A and B are shown apart, each in its own frame.
Chain A
Amino acid sequence: MMTSMEIVRAALQGNPAPRIPIFCNLLDQGAPELGMSQAEYYARGEHVACGQLALRTRYGYDNLWSLFYVGREAELLGCQEILFAEDGTPNVADYFLRTAKDIESFTIPEDITRHPVWQESARCLQVLRQESKGRFPICAYLTASTTLPALLMGMDKWLELALSGPDHLRAQLLGKCSEFFRKQVAAYREAGADLLLYSSPFGSSSFVGMRRFRAFSLPWMQRDLTGLGVEDLIYYCGTAPINPVIGEVMQHLGLRVFYPSPKDDLAVTKALVAGNGLTCGVIDDISMISWTPEQTRAEVERLCHIGMPGEHFLLGTAVMPMAVPEANIQAYMEAAFTFGSYR
């Protein structure tokens, strides 16, 4: 019997497998699973690892996450406050780059692995590795240089700087963020992450349009990735559509795994990626809040029907909101095993 890791590898390489890989991205559900508050849960790497392992055991999907929450990277760089909520995702509450001087003076730690925030992430990865024993792929989340500033200064301030300059300040900030990204890639690989989600909303034309995608996002993504090797990277734009850019991302960045938006036409994604890489079919998990289990099941069937021919296909969720009913998570999993079978 193939392990989850073997099934994922088979999908990546286009080799035969009994079924598609099934990802289910449950993050904030870990705290209630362990009976903790969000703040208590996220304070320790062991908690996050235990939450991930418990949720995976409960539902039976294929992946584990080393991600705590998206603002974690900001904490590594100087953010002092996170706003926790018991019913949802933590927010960055301290945009510490407030002035041009802040941008000029802020530095990337020489060795990010010495940072206490990183050490909790490393501890999480260590527990996940020990417990999963290579059976389940461990995912890590890394933010592209063009998007990371939004976590450090707020999206509106970053958009203003990105679109209107000053050019030298923008370049300075992006250079630092790219340096940080590259250090994180090395650190996550060293700590044992198997799949790195390259989160690049500014790599979607729905953020910046095709002209700026080519003139701005693509060159910075090239700088992020040059020489790193991209076999374990997944292209993801934070639920923003990616179909218009897939061809250029493949051509210029060499990425082969694409995690589109639920708003992307999956048939088009599949055709664009073709046999050259892995297409992920992503269910609209915001609509899953109000869907019935039957609707959830029907949507899984639809995605599998489109994505499975030609193999190279994985089924996944976005970041499943806590408001998604338990019955719909169960329905998603049951339907994924039923309709995702190649036998």
Chain B
Amino acid sequence: MIPLHSVCAMLETYITAYNNAVFDTDRDAALQVIAQALAAGHTPEEIVFELVIPAVEEMMAQLSRDLDANLAQHFMTAQIAAEVTEKMLEQFKQPPKTLGRVVIGTARGDLHSLGKRIVMGCLKTLMVEVRDLGVNVPAERFVEEAVAFDAQVIAISSMMVHTANGEQGCRKVRRLLREQQLENRFRVVVGGAPFRFDEQLYQAVGADDWAADGVSAGKVILRQIRELSP
């Protein structure tokens, strides 16, 4: 039997190799590391919980520290992690415990789906159940689906100023939550380019929190879930 510290050291090596590949946006190299870890006898559960999730968390920290971090890295971090997690989950002996539920979509009038896709990839990897509402989502639907899915968080992505700041997006979701006395039940998180330019904008539109990019959105949403359901 391999001693525990050796297993940990080996996983550390894989995490480093995996993250180097993801950081370099090299999907093939990242998948090769996963294949090597499996071949070395690590279980799908170990791959997800001890390799992919720590790697995503490390990547979140790395990308937030690195001023030169780029969109391609965020995209590949989420895509590869989601792809690996999905494959590994099929082989789990028992379905994993989910940490929470999120409904996500782009604001009414906004058809830009990239940010949403990055966030979804990260959330799935972090064992958060995600219901994708698609693009150009009316505020009423965000609220209805959040209730139906018993979500903790409503995540709204907006790449355009008028969809971030306008009356049909987050502002209306907040108004509906207030009118329906649902404000204590859900947290609202926003993201997208306009929020990066004006870091107070999320408050102005009635969101509880915001994320500067898709990868860190995973962390922000998870924090909101934990605050709501400790």
Indicate if the CB atoms of B163 and A88 lie closer than 8 Å: yes
The answer, among B68, B75, B76, for a CB contact under 8 Å with A205, is B68
Determine whether A290 belongs to the interface, using a CB cutoff of 8 Å to chain B: yes
Contact assessment for A323 and B114 in the assembled complex, using a CB-CB cutoff below 8 Å: no
Task: Report if B198 contacts A (CB, 8 A).
Answer: yes
A284 interface residue per 8 A CB criterion: yes
**Chain A 153-175 interface residues, beta-carbon cutoff 8 Å to B:** 154-156, 159-160, 163-164
For residue A84, which residue of chain B has the nearest CB?
B109
The answer to the question of B91 belonging to the interface, with a C-beta cut-off of 8 Å to chain A, is no
Hey, what's the 0/1 contact readout for B89-113 against A, CB within 8 Å counting as 1?
0000000000000000000011111
Q: For residue A85, which residues in chain B have a CB less than 8 angstroms away from its CB? A: 109, 162-163, 166
Residues in chain A near residue B110, CB distance under 8 A = 91
B190-227 residues at the A interface, CB under 8 angstroms: 193-194, 197-198, 200-201, 204
Instruction: Report A136-165 CB contacts with B as 1/0, cut-off 8 Å.
Output: 000000000000000000111001100110
B114 A159 Cβ-Cβ under 8 A? yes
Size bracket of the A interface = 35 or more
Q: Please count the residue pairs between chain A and chain B whose beta carbons lie under 8 angstroms apart in the complex.
A: 95
Q: How far is the CB of A210 from the nearest CB of chain B, in Å?
A: 8
Determine chain B's interface SS by DSSP, over half rule.
helix
Assess whether B16 is interfacial by the CB under 8 Å rule. Answer: no
Shortest C-beta distance, B24 to chain A (Å), equals: 7
Q: How large is the interface on B (under 10, 10 to 19, 20 to 34, 35 or more residues)?
A: 20 to 34
Is B43 interfacial (CB-CB < 8 Å)?
Answer: no
With contacts A284-B197, A290-B204 taken as known, whether A205 is within 8 angstroms of B70 at the C-beta atoms is yes
Report whether A321 and B162 are in contact in the complex, using a CB–CB cutoff of 8 Å. yes
* Bound Cα distance from A211 to B75, whole angstroms: 16
Look across to chain A and name the residue whose beta carbon is closest to the beta carbon of B204. Answer: A290
Q: Which residue of B lies closest to A150 (CB)?
A: B114
Residue from A160, A205, A262 having most chain B Cβ neighbours under 10 A: A160
Contact of B165 among A91, A92, A209, A323 (CB under 8 A): A323
Q: Determine whether the beta carbon of B198 is less than 8 Å from that of A209.
A: no
Given contacts A205-B70, A209-B70, contact A287 B109 (CB under 8 A): no
B20 at interface, CB cutoff 8 A: no
A207 near B162 (CB under 8 angstroms)?
no
CB-CB < 8 A to B165: which residues of A? 289, 321, 323
Given contacts A163-B72, A163-B75, A321-B161, contact A212 B109 (CB under 8 A): no
Query: Inside 8 A of A83's CB, which chain B residues have their CB?
Result: 109, 111, 136
Q: Are A164 and B27 in contact (CB under 8 A)?
A: yes
Please measure, in the bound complex, the distance between the C-alpha atom of A88 and the C-alpha atom of B112, giving whole angstroms.
Answer: 14
Task: Decide: A286 near B198, CB < 8 A? Known: A89-B160, A209-B68.
Answer: yes
| Chain B CB within 8 A of A322 CB | yes
Given the contacts A87-B166, A159-B71, A323 and B161 also touching, CB distance less than 8 Å: yes
B117 interface residue per 8 A CB criterion = yes
Check A88 against B166 for contact (C-beta < 8 Å).
yes
Q: Which A228-253 residues sit within 8 Å CB-CB of chain B?
A: 239, 244
User: Measured between alpha carbons, how far is A214 from B198 in the docked complex, in Å?
Assistant: 31
Q: How far is the CA of A92 from the CA of B162 in the complex (A)?
A: 15
The docked-state distance in angstroms from the alpha carbon of A48 to that of B170 is: 31
Kindly list 10 other residue pairs between chains A and B, CB separation below 8 angstroms, not including A83-B111, A85-B166: A89-B160, A91-B110, A156-B75, A207-B70, A207-B72, A208-B71, A209-B70, A287-B198, A289-B161, A323-B166
A interface residues (Cβ-Cβ under 8 A, vs B) = 83, 85, 87-89, 91-93, 154-156, 159-160, 163-164, 205-212, 239, 244, 262-263, 284, 286-287, 289-290, 321-323
- Of the A-B pairs whose beta carbons lie under 8 Å apart in the complex, a sample of 26, sorted by A's number, is A85-B109, A87-B166, A88-B160, A88-B161, A92-B111, A93-B111, A155-B112, A155-B114, A156-B113, A159-B114, A163-B72, A163-B75, A163-B76, A206-B68, A206-B70, A208-B70, A211-B24, A262-B197, A286-B197, A286-B201, A289-B161, A290-B200, A290-B204, A321-B162, A322-B161, A322-B162
